[in-house]
Structure 1
Amino acid sequence: MNASLKFAIASLYAAACLSAMAGSPRIEFRHPAVPVLSRLTHSPALRMTAIADGNATILKGMTLDFGKSTDPTDIRSIGLYVSADSTSFDRAHCIASATTDGQAKVKLALNAPLSADTTYMWLGVTLRDSIDLTHRISLKCTRIDTDRGTLRFRSYTSPLLRTGVALHTAGRDGVASCRIPGIATAPDGTLLAIYDARYDSSRDLQGNIDIALQRSLDGGSTWTPMQPVLDMGTWGGLAEKHNGVSDACILVDRNTGRIFVAGLWMHGMLDADGKWIEGLDSTSDYWIHQWKGRGSQPGTDIRSTCQFLITHSDDGGVTWSFPDNITAHTKRPEWWLFAPAPGQGITLSDGTLVFPTQGRDSKGIPFSNITYSTDHGRTWTTGNPAYDDVTECNAAELSDGSIMLNMRDNRNRGHLSPNGRRVCTTTDLGRTWTEHPTSRKVLTEPTCMASLYRHEYIAPDSSKASVLLFANPVHHKLRRNLTLRASLDDGATWPEANSIMFDETRGMGYSSITAINPGAIGILYESGLADMVFVRIELNEILKQK
């Protein structure tokens, strides 16, 4: 039985067992499948549904116990919130809160009338800013007092909740929104998280957007302040809102240690006919996107098409070079667009560097492909499209040396069946492609970016082994239920037993996977709780090894 199913059964069991005594409101409890986050005020950890019995009832107090947490001192405070429905956690309606003062039990003093029908309440947990991400949180309601007496309910076992870090929430550091995650691990173990820093709004290019970086030296528990690594400022005399850089992909050369970050730069804007617009300034409110209409056009000139930039670092991500513009050397002139695919690039076993890439062909139709370097990033070569009407993709090297490209497919949009990621493989660096047997048959998606990653580890018999990991929102329409899956046969099968739903919230749903160490991986992703979240998952948890 996989961990997600066990978690769901435990939640349903709690809901079924926690019925109040006859003649009083009935209380149902559910722990959502979401991490409890540091650097976020009151992460939702427990939903309580109070179903009225027809009599007026006022909540007077609630006793909470988190003594079975790995370290109860990780918890700084508890808050009780009311919401309009069973799915939304409304931070605007906190009715009580209390600090823990290092204690494992807290009592909330209340004076909260229950509604005549159903009242939805959430308990939120605030953690210390820095915690060990192997720690788990246990939160259990042990007593509820009302003006009519104490509600009695059967005892239940609280699941141990995963912890994580909110790297960015809306408005932090003067940035309206952060989107499009990518993450990689430097040779010294430093984690490098990249994303769009969207200063003015959450909208895509064109806009005031830089590629930003945060580094972690302790496996993801703490992170350095945000620093821009691709920022074109007011290049060409245009405002920053007309020099946006987006859709970053990070790649670590495993042989030299050099770190590359690729991004797509849009300078100025084109009109509805694909013509350069003169006279743009900071007050101009016209907007177009590189994937919309004629937002990017054939050719390689900066006034015709978006530009493919690459910056690099030789000191573990502390400092970065002025970017190289590889557009003229890699983009075919007839293509409307050529861009990085967000996430992480790879180093093949023979040392070849591979970026997943995407674009629009001579008719403006989207495609996915790869771009590679056989000389450690001095020059880059673009492969042929793997498929059409596909976009954001991730690549992984399979055990036979071939490259698998896992692609977002526009044909899936809103369709329950057929639905599945488009998957192709190549043995010649993208000159030719073969559709994989699983293509559009497994790995359901809501037409959204996803992450593919080959992780190397030490097997129980001490031999070297690897596993293919994949993360995306598991839903045909909505970006929710972010799930990590594992394949032990190069992606031929993705057993349900080897899957973990780590965030059920509805958000933007993009993700990127990297290694923390051989026994653990980290996922940087977009959550309904925060713009950018990092969680740690032990390999044994998904492989079900002891």
Structure 2
Amino acid sequence: CSLTLQAQSSTTPLLNDGSKTTFLTFQIPTNGEKTLSSVEFSGSKHLKDIAEISLTHHRKTGNRLFATRKTIANSFALKGSLNLPAGNHLFELTISLKSSANLLHKISLQPTKYNFSDGTTKKIDHISSRPQRLAYPIHKRGDYNCHTFRIPGIARSKNGHLLAVADMRYNSRRDLQGHMDIGLRISKDSGQTWSPPRAIMDMGEHGGKSQDQNGCSDPCILVDEETGQIFVAACWTHGKPGTHQWRGNGSEPGFDIDKSTQFIVVRSTDHGATWSKPENWTKKLKDPSWHLFAPAPGNGITMKDGTLVMPTQGRDAKGLPFSNITWSKDHGKTWHVSNHARDNTTECAVAELSDGSLLLNMRDNRNRADKSGTNGRAIAHTKDLGKSWVSHSTDHSALPEPVCMASLIADPYRKGTVYFSNPNNKRSRSHMTLRRSTDDGKTWSSQILLDTKGGAYSSLVMIDENHLGILYESSVADMIFQKIPISEFNEETSEKPLIQSLFKGERFPNIVVSKEGTLIATWGNRHIRARRSTDGGSSWGPEITITNPGFQGGGTTVDETTGDILAFVEENHPPANIFIYRSSDDGLTWKKETPTIRPDSQGHHPSMHMNDHGTTLRHGKYKGRLIRPTRFYAGKNDREKWPEHYTNAIYSDDHGKTWQTSEPFPENGTGEACLVELSDGSLYYNSRVHWQERPKNTRRREARSTDGGHTWKNFRIIDILPDGHQHRSYGCMGGLVRLPIDGQDILIFSNIDTPNATREQGTVWASFDGGKTWPVKRLILPGPSGYSALNAGRPGTPSEGYIYLHAETNNGSRVARFTLDWLKKGTLTGDGNIPSTPK
């Protein structure tokens, strides 16, 4: 049976309360009418946590339940009888967990085989799904007679209990003004179970106004690690219906409760069991000229010397936002407000570094418009409790954001280690991610994706020496709690690349990363297809047909100006008509176009056959130009024609409508190629060779361009880089990418590296000086391999920090995800040096 199954599993928290969650969706294609009789699965050792599992067939005329099962073993089958006409059929696998399921468990499930009633069967070699983490639902919409929980804060009390605070928004999800209190849930078993929620800050009908004109919001929880006293601060708006404290006159200068939003605090001296009446701290903290002064939601800290520090925020005399801190050296008897750390910032988080200074990490309103490389959290540090602030080295660079509250805490058990959580996406509140730094926030070496589809506000807590807790707004519930072993950060950054099967049959790989951070792998020399990954390559969606038939693709290009993705397809074996298939929706759909391509100075039109991805130039006179490698194909692929082939490029200054063919590469007999733009705006070009009667005939060729890719100069044979298997000089298409690190020209190259007569041993090389030297290589795909393509993850998306190789293997393709650190530990070539820290 020639059928194949395609599946996608995003990273989604699984609630341990018995509610149903989609675990996996997949397609089963049928060549004709068939009756599905069973689907077999295998999974992790924790499948006994599953209370029920169901498989449903989705269709426009109504969904059909295929099978349900309640007894789950590590291997099992879902059996039923379902007639399927010819075509692709979408199935959804849903699971519900037992309420006793341990939060440290993960659930992994993969289809292994499906069977039809006529006896045909299909074994599934690989499905790209990943283990899913369990979560406790702190609140789901409508629970406990409350519409929504929002704005999390969490801390560990001195006796080891976890205290989770949040807005209890009774009537709607919207912000102040409205009927809302500050609620509390307590866990006495490290987050496995939680007490029912109760209000600890409720202004009732103060001043004779209704509950919906006495709302409290944005809690910040702080535990005095020496005395055990707990403070929960929030802002209270009295009256002012239909206003918001961050806009216009929603909060005004002065102290009057009818005009200015108030700074309110409750305290507990018995680990959260009972709480004081609300205390109004507005007059002792707020500058009367300011429109607003409020706690920043999340958590405060106790410094090593006992100083209490609460992150705060406000609007100055002009109504403009700022971030700062408020601190106490006498266990909360008196408090001091610092100078502003930054303007046009709001919600912030604070952590003490190993040298005793404070790091303040701030939501920055400038990021609403800035989606470029300077999008990122505003970060400052102080050594004098906020009298003076210095911009941090990672300010507006290391931690992208969609403009959203985030969390930052220091690890008291590991010097220099801090953790950060936020939606790792510049454009939307999705991809909730945990990051770890082991050098006081200078670099963020590892990350864990928690929720692909959701994630907004979050708050972190150290549960104990070995576990981190996170309370956050998720895609599966208003607010959930998850428990993460610290050891998982080491697992996420382990040396082993992630290698997955991607396509079956045919040939010719490409891979690009869209402006949204979506990986789009293309494939085919008759049926041109694509698969997408929105979670950095952890899982892949079903195949999408770009065109069928179509001879072959290559040179897929992302227009960095418009966001469009251009796939190039020839009608048949070159020379042939060339078409562009354009996607304007992140690779989901493709529309055929007929471009105008002008010939080179010799009158030759280019062929697409078969080159690595194109690029958008980002520097200098030709900024915005699209360029991709091509070749002149001198008739059929006969040996006598090889000396007439040559490599070149095509470029477009109107987003792909018209193209100009460049001048030929300096050497004939060259073929499939790859190119990148360097940091100075010049282009580096690396080409395959077809013709064997020449010196060093099994080495790659290079040239460079300083005129936007029209002419190619400085030809060189690259002694260190092989071109295909070394017993002959037929060559092999390779991949090339420049890593997206400003001011650095770190290039990665891929090809096979073998003296044998077969294409095998897929290998990657690194250059740290723009292709002048290639000091290190590493085998990544042992065994059969062939044509390959490369790309690099996009900053501010789940793909950030990864390098992606898409390569031919036996009867299909595989994609490998790896890091530069992994590659740097490979075999030294003797060609140059690896810098200890790339410049």
1:40 is displaced (CA, Å) by 5.0
1:506 is displaced (CA, Å) by 2.6
RMSD: 2.4
1:543 is displaced (CA, Å) by 3.9
What one-letter code is carried by the residue in structure 2 that aligns with 1:62? V
Q: Which residue of 2 aligns with 1:273?
A: none
- 3-state SS of 1:34 partner: coil
Which deviations, in whole Å up to 9, do the C-alpha atoms of 1:197-220 show, x marking residues without a partner?
A: 111111011111111111111111
Q: 1:251 aligns with which of 197, 201, 222?
A: 222
What one-letter code is carried by the residue in structure 1 that aligns with 2:153? G
Separation in structure 2 between the aligned mates of residue 240 and residue 541 of structure 1, nearest angstrom: 45
1:124 is displaced (CA, Å) by 2.0
Asked if the contact 2:58–2:64 (Cα under 8 Å) also holds between the matched residues in 1, the reply is no
Q: 1:526 aligns with which of 460, 473, 476?
A: 473
1:57 is displaced (CA, Å) by 5.0
Which deviations, in whole Å up to 9, do the C-alpha atoms of 1:132-184 show, x marking residues without a partner?
A: 22222122323434466554032447643322211111111111111111111
Asked if the contact 2:113–2:124 (Cα under 8 Å) also holds between the matched residues in 1, the reply is no
- 3-state SS of 2:45 partner: coil
Q: 1:483 aligns with which of 412, 424, 433?
A: 433
Which deviations, in whole Å up to 9, do the C-alpha atoms of 1:3-51 show, x marking residues without a partner?
A: xxxxxxxxxxxxxxxxxx32x4x42123322232212512222221344
Separation in structure 1 between the aligned mates of residue 79 and residue 58 of structure 2, nearest angstrom: 19
1:373 is displaced (CA, Å) by 1.3
- 3-state SS of 2:488 partner: helix
- 3-state SS of 2:96 partner: strand
Separation in structure 2 between the aligned mates of residue 407 and residue 113 of structure 1, nearest angstrom: 56
- 3-state SS of 1:201 partner: coil
Q: Which residue of 2 aligns with 1:266?
A: 237
Question: TM-score, length-normalised on structure 2?
Answer: 0.56
How does 1:127-276 map onto structure 2 within 5 Å? 127-146=97-116, 150-156=120-126, 159-269=130-240
Asked if the contact 2:53–2:95 (Cα under 8 Å) also holds between the matched residues in 1, the reply is yes
- 3-state SS of 2:249 partner: coil
Q: 2:13 aligns with which of 24, 35, 51?
A: 35
Alpha carbons of structure 1 residues 139 and 93: separation in structure 2 relative to 1, 3 Å: same
Q: Which residue of 2 aligns with 1:513?
A: 460
Which deviations, in whole Å up to 9, do the C-alpha atoms of 1:372-421 show, x marking residues without a partner?
A: 11111122221111111101100001111111100000111153212010
Larger C-alpha radius of gyration, 1 or 2?
2
Q: Which residue of 2 aligns with 1:352?
A: 307
1:317 is displaced (CA, Å) by 0.9
Q: Which residue of 2 aligns with 1:395?
A: 350
What one-letter code is carried by the residue in structure 1 that aligns with 2:453? T
- 3-state SS of 2:123 partner: coil
Alpha carbons of structure 1 residues 540 and 337: separation in structure 2 relative to 1, 3 Å: same
What one-letter code is carried by the residue in structure 1 that aligns with 2:94? G
Separation in structure 2 between the aligned mates of residue 155 and residue 28 of structure 1, nearest angstrom: 11
Q: Which residue of 1 aligns with 2:417?
A: 467
Identity %: 43
Give the number of the structure with larger relative contact order, counting CA–CA contacts within 8 Å between residues 6 or more apart: 1
Q: Which residue of 1 aligns with 2:785?
A: none
Q: Which residue of 1 aligns with 2:52?
A: 77
Q: Which residue of 1 aligns with 2:614?
A: none
Q: Which residue of 2 aligns with 1:416?
A: 371
How does 1:267-286 map onto structure 2 within 5 Å? 267-269=238-240
1:108 is displaced (CA, Å) by 3.8
- 3-state SS of 1:162 partner: strand
Separation in structure 1 between the aligned mates of residue 59 and residue 453 of structure 2, nearest angstrom: 16
Which deviations, in whole Å up to 9, do the C-alpha atoms of 1:339-360 show, x marking residues without a partner?
A: 1111010001111111101111
- 3-state SS of 2:283 partner: helix
Could you tell which deviates more after superposition, 353-362 or 373-382? 373-382
Q: Which residue of 2 aligns with 1:501?
A: 449
Question: TM-score, length-normalised on structure 1?
Answer: 0.84
Could you tell which deviates more after superposition, 76-85 or 425-434? 76-85
1:429 aligns with 2:385: yes
Q: Which residue of 1 aligns with 2:286?
A: 331
Asked if the contact 1:39–1:167 (Cα under 8 Å) also holds between the matched residues in 2, the reply is no
Separation in structure 2 between the aligned mates of residue 82 and residue 195 of structure 1, nearest angstrom: 39
Asked if the contact 2:66–2:81 (Cα under 8 Å) also holds between the matched residues in 1, the reply is no
Separation in structure 1 between the aligned mates of residue 412 and residue 378 of structure 2, nearest angstrom: 24
- 3-state SS of 1:182 partner: strand
Alpha carbons of structure 1 residues 400 and 101: separation in structure 2 relative to 1, 3 Å: same
Q: Which residue of 2 aligns with 1:461?
A: none
Alpha carbons of structure 1 residues 42 and 304: separation in structure 2 relative to 1, 3 Å: same
Separation in structure 2 between the aligned mates of residue 438 and residue 84 of structure 1, nearest angstrom: 49
Q: Which residue of 2 aligns with 1:377?
A: 332
1:111 is displaced (CA, Å) by 5.6
Asked if the contact 2:354–2:415 (Cα under 8 Å) also holds between the matched residues in 1, the reply is no
Could you tell which deviates more after superposition, 371-380 or 441-450? 371-380
Alpha carbons of structure 1 residues 57 and 168: separation in structure 2 relative to 1, 3 Å: farther
Separation in structure 1 between the aligned mates of residue 435 and residue 388 of structure 2, nearest angstrom: 28
Name structure 1 gaps, 5 residues minimum: 1-20, 86-91, 270-285, 458-463
How does 1:90-129 map onto structure 2 within 5 Å? 95=65, 98-101=68-71, 103-104=73-74, 107-110=77-80, 118-129=88-99
Asked if the contact 1:79–1:94 (Cα under 8 Å) also holds between the matched residues in 2, the reply is no
Equivalent pairs counted in the alignment come to 490
Could you tell which deviates more after superposition, 29-38 or 215-224? 29-38
